[in-house]
Amino acid sequence: MSRIPSRKTLDLSKINFPTDAITFGAIRRHEPGNVEWKSPPEPPELLEIVAIHRFEQRLAEKAFAGAIGLEDPHPRYQRAEFVDALCDGYRSYKICKNDSEAKALAEKIEDDARRQALETSQETSRRRR
């Protein structure tokens, strides 16, 4: 049974995450000589990328919730922890060259999530009229 998202739900499919640009070539270059493709690929080949992507999603969820006035979905973790992990991951997979670029990518994720929150709030306000 599919779940119908509420009006106050972040749609992660509308966010362009930096990890979307990671290719199999980037994975092979990251672990030269250490990537043995199995069916399906096993950790560590993909585990690290999945973890980085989850940090992106959690950062977006935090920004969305904060912008729309919802409870923090990840109260045990500070924003800075997610950003630091993303900086490490982005540099590791050469998505960016330095921390400044990585932080800008993280801020873009947050901006996209906040934009969705604003659109959601505006839609809710129009429905109430």
pLDDT at 2: 37
Question: Tens digits of per-residue pLDDT, 3-58?
Answer: 434 457 899 999 999 999 888 778 777 776 666 656 655 556 678 888 999 999 99
Tell me the pTM. Answer: 0.81
Alpha helices in the chain (DSSP H): 24-30, 47-68, 79-92, 99-128
pLDDT at 109: 98
| Residue 96 reports pLDDT greater than 90 | yes
What are the domain boundaries of the chain?
Answer: 44-128
Paired tokens of 15: 């966010």
Give yes or no for a cis peptide into 44 (omega within 30° of 0).
yes
Look up tokens 């997979």; give the residue. 93
Question: Tens digits of per-residue pLDDT, 43-70?
Answer: 566 788 889 999 999 999 999 999 999 9
